[in-house]
Structure 1
Amino acid sequence: MESTRRLWKERFPHEPYLLDLTQFQYDQQWKPPKQGELSNFKYNLHEAAARQSAFYYQVSRSHMKDEKYLRGAEQRYKGFLHLYSLTQNKLFLVPTYDIDLLWHAHQLNVKCYTDDMRRILDRLLPHDDSVADRTPGSRLEKSSILTHKLWLERYGKPYIREGAMYRGEPPAPVPIPLQGETVTSLLPDIGGSFRYTTKESREVMQITLTIVRARDLPMVARKSSVGSFTDGKQMSQFSS
């Protein structure tokens, strides 16, 4: 709290850090809450902020700002909503992170999102990000497998997209130093368990691997072959 207050004062010296409700005018039916009075707001903002922090880690990669990549994400998001309409909104479908990013962006315009959902799905599609258990047999895992299956059946393409899949838990946060402290003093020693990820820009290429198994082949023909292609042309091939 103190470090936040200090940073706020440095950045906004003429704006008070604590909001003064007395400077606003309200209608006659609304009264400012009294000191210590509980709010009627039921949504847990603390837990929601923690979930959004984890979501931000999943989408905070350079290709998520690439216009070409986002155009593809937009088309996939439309396909995701169409898949929902085909299931008559009775199933829990799991978005990949490129689709989820577009889903979040769509909700920023509340009226647009509401009108679009009612037009496409005849109802408002809630964004439930509280389902985070990825253990085998969990609701999230079963729904994810089902989404992959339905996508492949409907569109004839794998649901997986390079750079849009779950990449593990977020790394440990870098602590914000208080006055008189340095970041270096707060980090663990060399060889400790501090985790970090690099942020270098990179090119993204999607590779789909198809494995074909044939039975009763002669011994001389029993080998596996993997080839890589780009723009429809084979670049390399490996055999074993």
Structure 2
Amino acid sequence: MRTKFDGKEIYVVKSEPDEERTYHCDALASRFPTATEIDYPAGERVPVDSAAAVVLTGSTAAVYEPEQYPWVDDQQALVRRLVERSVPTLGVCFGHQIANAALGGTVEHVGMTAGLVEADLDHQPLFEGVAPVVPALHGDAVTALGDGMESIATAPHADIFASRHQSAPLWTVQFHPEITAALEPRLTEDFGWESGRWSFGDVTAAVVFENFKSMAESAPAAADSP
């Protein structure tokens, strides 16, 4: 049975164009087992009118490469519509970046980080029960927030490590709550993953997804189309 809030769906927007690296999107989607998956690079789109909540995954694409990935502009337009409609939305890594870019923020290449890092997480419902050690896997970063966004976490290598909208139910995290020890061999092979002085035993980042579900369920109903 599908998960629905008042007859509407949760959608997981999978944004990975490299078929060899969709495993991180699959890991995220597994946290929402009854949601509908949307393959954005393949041309699938979210029917916003039926969306109770939307989750935007990570990607090896860059938000500043619409010439190579034309669907990036479409996804930015999706974010703006979700904000206008007050549809609860969670952006992860690329999702964090594209949400801020869609609202006028800036995303830049800053160099690859692939490993466990210690973050300074604000006291937010999204981070309830989340330990400060989280999995990070990104070469780009938000360097200027989008309009209406505020930073809610920092890390030694990223000043804007998570963000939230001041009036819409939009939350974003640069880190990857879906990454677990099971993915470590692939991450090491593909990205040179290094856990450093921490282990996945220190990580509780997946709680972010449960917190988001609870927040989405308690959010006011999304606005109807005009």
TM-score tier (shorter): under 0.3
- Higher helix proportion, which one? 1
- Higher strand proportion, which one? 2
Greater RCO (CA < 8 Å, at least 6 residues apart): 2
Larger Rg: 1
| Superposition TM-score, scaled by structure 2 size | 0.25
| Superposition TM-score, scaled by structure 1 size | 0.24
